[in-house]
Structures are given as structure tokens and as C-alpha cells.
Structure 1
Amino acid sequence: MMELRVLRYFLAVVQEKNITKAAEKLLISQPALSKQLSDLENELGAKLFIRGHRQITLTSEGEYLSSKASEIIDLADKTTANILTDQVIGGDLTIGAGESVSMKRIIDVMGNINQDYPDVKVHLVSGDANEMESKLNNGTLDFAVFMGERDLSDFNYLQIPEIDQWGVVMRQDSLLALNQVVTPKDLLGLPLLISSQAMTSNRFDNWWGNLGPQMNITGTFTLAFNAELLVESSHSYMMTFKHLLNENNNEELVFRPLEPELTEPITVVWKKNTVLSKVDQLFIKRLQASLQLD
């Protein structure tokens, strides 16, 4: 059975890309570390590294173990921290979400908890809904924030009053920027950038209807900030949420909402049938209180 200690050794080698450097960082001998790694490979029945002259390279099996080992170590460390601080409000509060206007409320709650209880460490993890659901299920997240309709039968959840409104970010000097709203016909022939999650879920199929096959989708993105740079440099048009436009680009880019209007509900979710730490319970209590103040 793999030990946490050995997984930490493995991740140190992955980070340093060199067994000797990793051994120095871990304060153990290079032969001892090499033996631990060799034993791990024998235990798994797979080669994890290709050992080069100056640095090691991960095999596909090594890449897989690296991602899973990180999750295992994070979960172990988080569990230990929460147990050690069970008598006081402390430990880790980890929330995963995509980019959304709703994060202002959630970050305010997290910030207030951190201010009142300095022993609490807050962590924000970015990613799409599928990735966040996976991390929530394997225990590396306490909470996830979902944008859009999603099956919530396996979760407890709180609906946030804010909504995300879809629209198009474009250059100020584009002809389409003269419009106050954007219709499907307006987008015909234009180079479109769409979020990977929206692309995978066919989010705009109903909105643009039979014009869908004529849409010129030239790329996808996961982070709006990076996509904005492409909009600015390539005259592309990015379909994204309102309020995500980087303030530094306000003079170069503009947002126009879709017509007919297209919005997404926002939901904070956590696992059912799980024992919540005190800090998790506090987060839920304060988030509920913020909703009651509206």
C-alpha cells in the first residue's frame, strides 16, 4: 500500500525534476530516495520516470500518479489541520468555482471569517463545473460554486440571488459595439471565442437556433482574462459573463448583452452525508445570513 511519505517523496522529485536535488530538499540521501522510487514503481507495476542525464521526465503513468498524489496529499493535510483545530474555529476552507459575479459575495464571507478567525486559511480553486464536482466528490474541496442548471440531487446547496448574464466582449472600434444588444444574426461570420464548458454543454444551441451551423467558432477558453487579450489582438468576439471584463481593458473592450437575454443561476453546493468541520459550518451560517440581509 502506498504511504503518504513516499507520495511526498515522489511529488518532490516531480517538482525538482531531479532526484539529487529532491533528496537535498527532503534531507535524505540520494540512494535512499532512488530506492523509495524504485520500490514505488515495483509496487505499482509501472514505470513512472524516464531518467535523463540532467533531469527526469514523467511517463504517462507518472503524470497520472502526480495529479492523484497531489489530491491525496492535499486531502490528508486538510483533514489533519481540521482535526487539530477541532476545539477552535480554524483549519482550511477550500472553495472551487469558475469566474462569476457571484464570487464577490462568497469572497466577502470568506474574508470576514478569515478576519474574525486568523487561524482559518482560505483557498480558492479555479476550474469549470465538471472539474469542481470531481474535486468536491473526492474531498479536496469543501464547497463548489456552480453556474448554470445542473443536477444537484447528490448535494446540499444554497441558491445565490445573483445571476450571470451572457453577452459578447469585443473591441470598442468594432461595428457591433454600436449595438446595445447582440442577436444571433449579428454574430454570423464573426470569429467567436466560447468558454470550453459552454462549448461542451452546447449552451448556446437553443439561443442561436437554426443559425448554429453558420457560427464561426474559432477557439475556446477557460479563463476570461486570457481570452480578452486575444479579443484585443485578433479582433475576435468572446461570449462570456457580464462583469468579467478586466477594468484595465475598459478603454479597449466593451460588453454587450445577448438578445434574447440568456442568464445562469448560481449555486453553492457541498456533499451530502458528510461531517462538516466547524469552519465549514461557519461558512454556511454566514452565507445564509448574507442572503437574509438582501
Structure 2
Amino acid sequence: MDLRVLEYFLMTAEEGSITHAAELLHVSQPTVSRQLMDLERELGKTLFIRTKKNVSLTKDGLLFRETAREILALYQKAVREDTGAAELSGELYLGMGETGSVRFLAEQIAAFQVLHPSVHFHLISENADRICEDIEKGLLDAGFVMRNVNPATFEILELGLTETWGVLVPESHPLAGEPEVSGRQLRQERLILPENTVFKQELLRWLGQGAEERVGATYNLIYNAFPLAQTAGALIVCLGTVGERQEGLIFLPFAKGKTASASLIWKKKPVQTPALEAFLEHVVHAISE
């Protein structure tokens, strides 16, 4: 399969038109049409529903779109890596959640780039489940997570940073003046939980029987949960620091002091890229000082 065909497929899927895709790709419409039909024959699947004016993806087409994106992303990442340059250079893709501990990683990236300005970082916001998946697929070089991962699959560098589980409460909420909140109190409230599978199950066990019935929504990235918390008076279960305030919400810790530890993880394999090896050495040195 020619990678160029994947570009034709993705452009056509995005534009919903073979003609428009051909114009943007600077090739003829018959070329794109023929390549797409060859692709369908090779896969043994119908990827597009075709009408006189446009095209749309079938169910198989939607599934293949994700595969095509991953293949092209891996190829483009490999092309950018320059292992033969005298000066350290390259592209590093790091996944991270939206937690306060990310500041430590930001400080290390800034210090590393002073030493190696030709290394470019891509910071990808994802939850821990997706970070692990994308590292395994090769789409991410490393990830910053606040949960345990499988040591048979990942190398794990404990960073010595912890954060506290609690809730973000609207400042006008009756609980806003409390120093902490208990599971009993939370079972009376509408809750917004993180989408992360492991965290969600742990939190529901901690909150106790009936807690799942109080979950009105889940979030992937916490910023998207702020408007719902403000308008519905719901409480966002998350990691934070005592007294933290943002977007009209105040953070209250759980009464039992539940915490999570930060780790930098990457896939176990014999050889890492020079840029990743150098960055990992930099972080190890920083936490050992």
C-alpha cells in the first residue's frame, strides 16, 4: 500500500468530495478515484458511499480512517527523526493530563531546550488510558501519568510528585466553606468524574454504594467540565491542591487523604531515539539533585 493513497483517502474523507480532494492534492480527479477504488479492492471493503455530488464514509471507512491516520503519523514522525546529525535534534511526542504536576515536566523541557534547541517537543493532552495506548502504538514517545501502569509493557520513572484527590466545588455551593469532603457528603451531590477507567472505578469504590447513580457526566480534559459544574452546580472529581481556585471553583480534598503519584513512562524496547534518551537522562538527573 502506497502512503500516498492514504493521503488521498484522508483528504477525500475530510472534504466529502473526490473532486475537491483532487484539487487540494494537485492531481487529477480520475487519479484519486482510481486509487481509492484500488484501495477498496486491496482491503476487500467498501470505504465510501458515493453519490453524484459527494462521498461519505461507510462504517468500514470510519474504522480505516483511524488506522490511516496512525500509519501516516508514524511515518511522518520517523521522517522527522534525524539520528545522524552532529547536534542533537529530533521530535519528541509527550502525552500528559491536565494536572498541576505537569509544571515539573514543563520546567525540565525548558531547561533541556536551552541545552538542545534543535529538539522540538509536541505536547499532547490526553488521559492516562489514551496515553498508554498511544505509547504502545508508537504515536507517543513518552507520557506523564498519575496512575500505575503495567511494568511489563512500560519503563517507569517515578518523579516523587504527588497530588491529592478531591472535588472542584462552585464557590456558591454549600460545601465550599468546608475544609474537606467525605464520601457520605458526595453521595448527596451530582458528580462529574474523570473518564479514565482505572480512576473511575477506584473512586466509585471509595465513594461507596449508590455513588454511580450520582454521576451525571464524565470528562476527558477537565477544562471542558468547568461550564457544566458552574451551570448545574455539579462537583468535579479531580486531582488538585488544597485551596486551589479556578474558573469560579474551589478545590476541596477528600477526607481520607487519597493521593496519586506522578510517573514518566515510555515503551520497553531495545533502542530509543537519541533525543528521548537524552531527555530521560536529563529528567533522571533533575530528580536526583
Answer yes or no: same fold by TM over 0.5.
yes
Indicate conservation of the 8 Å contact 1:133/1:144, yes or no: yes
Alpha-carbon offset, residue 215 of structure 1: 5.3
Pick closer, same or farther for the CA change 1:227–1:199 going to 2, 3 Å: farther
Indicate conservation of the 8 Å contact 1:99/1:244, yes or no: no
Q: Aligned-residue CA RMSD in angstroms?
A: 2.2
- Please name the residue that 2:80 is paired with: 81
Matched, 1:63 2:59: no
Matched, 1:282 2:278: yes
Alpha-carbon offset, residue 245 of structure 1: 10
Matched, 1:259 2:255: yes
Which letter does structure 1 place at the counterpart of 2:76? D
Indicate conservation of the 8 Å contact 2:128/2:147, yes or no: no
- Please name the residue that 2:235 is paired with: 237
3-state SS of the aligned residue for 2:149? Answer: coil
Structure 1: give runs of 5+ residues left out of the alignment: none
Alignment: residue pair count: 289
Which letter does structure 1 place at the counterpart of 2:228? L
- Please name the residue that 1:192 is paired with: 191
Indicate conservation of the 8 Å contact 2:93/2:121, yes or no: yes
Whole-Å separation in 1 of the counterparts to 2:162 and 2:84: 36
Indicate conservation of the 8 Å contact 1:159/1:268, yes or no: yes
Alpha-carbon offset, residue 189 of structure 1: 2.1
Whole-Å separation in 2 of the counterparts to 1:247 and 1:189: 23
Percent of residue pairs identical: 28
Pick closer, same or farther for the CA change 1:14–1:115 going to 2, 3 Å: farther
Within-5 A mapping of 1:160-175: 160-175=159-174
Which letter does structure 2 place at the counterpart of 1:102? S
3-state SS of the aligned residue for 1:227? Answer: helix
- Please name the residue that 2:42 is paired with: 43
Q: Deviations over 1:35-59 (max 9, x none)?
A: 1111001111111112245432211
Indicate conservation of the 8 Å contact 1:172/1:254, yes or no: yes
Matched, 1:216 2:214: yes
Whole-Å separation in 2 of the counterparts to 1:112 and 1:4: 37
Indicate conservation of the 8 Å contact 1:225/1:245, yes or no: no
3-state SS of the aligned residue for 2:250? Answer: strand
Pick closer, same or farther for the CA change 1:246–1:78 going to 2, 3 Å: farther
Indicate conservation of the 8 Å contact 2:186/2:207, yes or no: no
Whole-Å separation in 2 of the counterparts to 1:116 and 1:28: 43
3-state SS of the aligned residue for 2:176? Answer: helix
Whole-Å separation in 2 of the counterparts to 1:61 and 1:164: 42
Indicate conservation of the 8 Å contact 1:182/1:256, yes or no: yes
Worse-superposed segment, 236-245 or 164-173:
236-245
- Please name the residue that 1:97 is paired with: 96
Pick closer, same or farther for the CA change 1:194–1:213 going to 2, 3 Å: closer
Which letter does structure 2 place at the counterpart of 1:106? L
Indicate conservation of the 8 Å contact 2:154/2:268, yes or no: yes
Alpha-carbon offset, residue 147 of structure 1: 1.4
- Please name the residue that 1:106 is paired with: 105
Alpha-carbon offset, residue 85 of structure 1: 5.2
- Give the TM-score of the pair, scaled to structure 2: 0.92
- Please name the residue that 1:147 is paired with: 146
- Please name the residue that 2:135 is paired with: 136
- Please name the residue that 2:126 is paired with: 127
Matched, 1:6 2:2: no
Alpha-carbon offset, residue 239 of structure 1: 0.6
- Give the TM-score of the pair, scaled to structure 1: 0.90
3-state SS of the aligned residue for 1:31? Answer: helix
Structure 2: give runs of 5+ residues left out of the alignment: none
- Please name the residue that 1:118 is paired with: 117
Worse-superposed segment, 195-204 or 63-72:
195-204
Indicate conservation of the 8 Å contact 1:102/1:160, yes or no: no
- Please name the residue that 1:273 is paired with: 269
3-state SS of the aligned residue for 1:114? Answer: helix
Q: Deviations over 1:135-162 (max 9, x none)?
A: 1111111102221223222221210111
Which letter does structure 2 place at the counterpart of 1:139? G
Pick closer, same or farther for the CA change 1:212–1:59 going to 2, 3 Å: same
3-state SS of the aligned residue for 2:285? Answer: helix
Alpha-carbon offset, residue 194 of structure 1: 0.6
